[in-house]
Structure 1
Amino acid sequence: MIPTLETERLRLRMQTMDDWPAYARLMMSERAAFMEGPHTMAEAWGLFCHDLAQWPLLGCGGLMFDDRETGECLGQVGINHGPLFPEHELGWMVYPGAEGKGYAFEAASALRDWAYGERGLKTLVSHIDPENHRSRKLAERLGAELELDPDRPGPEVLVYRHKI
Structure 2
Amino acid sequence: MTAAPILTTARLTLRPFTLADYPAFAACLQSPRARGMGGPFDSFGAWSLFCHDVAGWALYGHGGLAITHSADGVVMGEIVLNAGPLFPEPELGWTLYDGFEGQGYATEAAAALRDWAFAQLSYPSLVSYCDADNLASQAVALRLGAVPDADAPRPDPSDLVFRHRRPA
Q: Which runs of structure 1 show a deviation greater than 6 angstroms over 4 or more consecutive aligned residues?
A: none
Q: TM-score, normalised by structure 2?
A: 0.95
- 1:157 maps to a residue whose letter is D
- In percent, how many aligned pairs have the same letter? 49
> Which residues in structure 2 correspond to 1:136-151 (within 5 Å)?
136-151=138-153
What is the CA RMSD across the aligned residues, in angstroms? 0.8
**Greater alpha carbon shift after TM alignment, 116-125 vs 54-63:** 116-125
Q: TM-score, normalised by structure 1?
A: 0.97
Counterpart of 1:86 in structure 2 is 88
Measured in 2, the distance between the counterparts of 1:2 and 1:154 equals 27
1:135 aligns with 2:150: no
Gaps of 5+ in 2: none
- 1:61 maps to a residue whose letter is G
Note if contact 2:124-2:165 (Cα within 8 Å) is conserved in structure 1.
no
> Which residues in structure 2 correspond to 1:1-164 (within 5 Å)?
1-164=3-166
Gaps of 5+ in 1: none
Measured in 2, the distance between the counterparts of 1:122 and 1:149 equals 17
For these two proteins, the number of residue pairs brought into alignment is 164
CA positional deviation for 1:129:
0.9
Measured in 2, the distance between the counterparts of 1:104 and 1:150 equals 23
Measured in 2, the distance between the counterparts of 1:24 and 1:43 equals 9
Measured in 1, the distance between the counterparts of 2:156 and 2:12 equals 33
Q: Residue 87 of structure 1 aligns to a residue in which SS? A: coil
Could you list the per-position Cα deviations for residues 77-134 of structure 1 after superposition, in whole angstroms to 9, with x for gaps in the alignment?
A: 0000111111100000001111100000000000000000122321200011111111
CA positional deviation for 1:149:
1.3
